[in-house]
Amino acid sequence: MDLFDSARLRRTFELAFGHHTHPNPGVGALVVNDGVVVGEGFHSGPGNDHAEVVALSAAGDAARGADLYVSLEPCSHHGRTPPCVDAVLAAGIGRIVIGIEDPDPKVSGSGVAKLMEAGIEVVLSDEPASAEAVDPAYFHHRRTGFPRITAKFAMTLDGSVAATDGTSQWITSAEARHDAHVLRSQVDAVVVGAGTLRSDNPRLDVRIDGYGGPQPRPVIVAGSSPLPAESQIWDLNPIVITAEGGSAPGGEIVDVGGSTLPAPAVVASALGDLGYLDILLEGGPTLLSSWWSAGVITRGYAYIAARVGGGAGITPFAGPFGNIEDAREVEIFDVQSVGPDVRIGFQ
């Protein structure tokens, strides 16, 4: 793969990025004939044409003998749409450059094999990590069976998410709260526990001036105790994940069985099965601690407020921290100033 191939492949990443396509992957495609871009496209969401089909349609007859660049291996199976490999063959593409093989077992190399069997030159990128970065949640889910779960919490500089009386609004600045809404705009669903529903009466939606994109699906993890009927969350048709016999005043109830509060791995798996692959966990200390202990949290963002509580408040994680050996090492991959506060990303 030469520099021209690399540059054109990067364009497919730009085309793919930022669209809400789950449970499908985000994909971009580019058709180049005799050095000229004659078609490009991206997948905009489930049920819509895949990126390759959009780009090939834009290219028309100019696709014959051309090079096709695509960020992800073309699919070779029937889903909501026909296989993209068939469209590539029908268009008469002579060469295809692919960012990365699809980890989905339904594809996973079969698209590449079918293209090669048809005599098309296939080039796989030598920088697959760049292609994976287009939609990391999709790759995480296909490889692990769980959605990518991002924990988010805000705390004082000395480590409290709330005062001992439960008050927490507002620990962080308006700028940090806006940034948290940007995080919400990038995910499929936002998860809280029943305790947060009762204490905070949240909406869990994106509230940014001018925002016109899709809203994340609110999710409540509940036990057997009744949920407050007056909560504003019911206006947003949340998913309520409960154990056997659980109920709710509204929303879509997903009964995962069992007799206790649904286990984090069970909830995560259920959300993945429903097509929610990128999850923001905004629960309180009890939910956050249980999901952390279960090992299903992929990464996190801690918003550190420019405030000092000066005493023992409520910490981000419930339960004891008994020994330093219990501390889990993480990688800090991002540190940013957000207004007067600081956001730290870790994984």
Active site residues: 52
For residue 190, what are the contacts with CB-CB under 8 A and spacing of at least 6? 184, 204, 216, 217, 218, 219, 279, 280, 282
Please give the Cα distance from 83 to 254 (Å, whole number): 32
For residue 51, what are the contacts with CB-CB under 8 A and spacing of at least 6? 12, 15, 16, 27, 28, 29, 41, 42, 43, 70, 71
Terminal Cα distance for the chain, rounded? 32
Helix (H, G, I), strand (E, B) or coil at 319: coil
Please give the Cα distance from 323 to 160 (Å, whole number): 20
DSSP string, 149-171: EEEEEEE-TTS-SB-TTS--TTS
Please give the Cα distance from 16 to 236 (Å, whole number): 28
What CA dihedral angle connects 225, 228, 234 and 235, to 10 degrees? Answer: 180
Could you say which DSSP state residue 260 is in? S
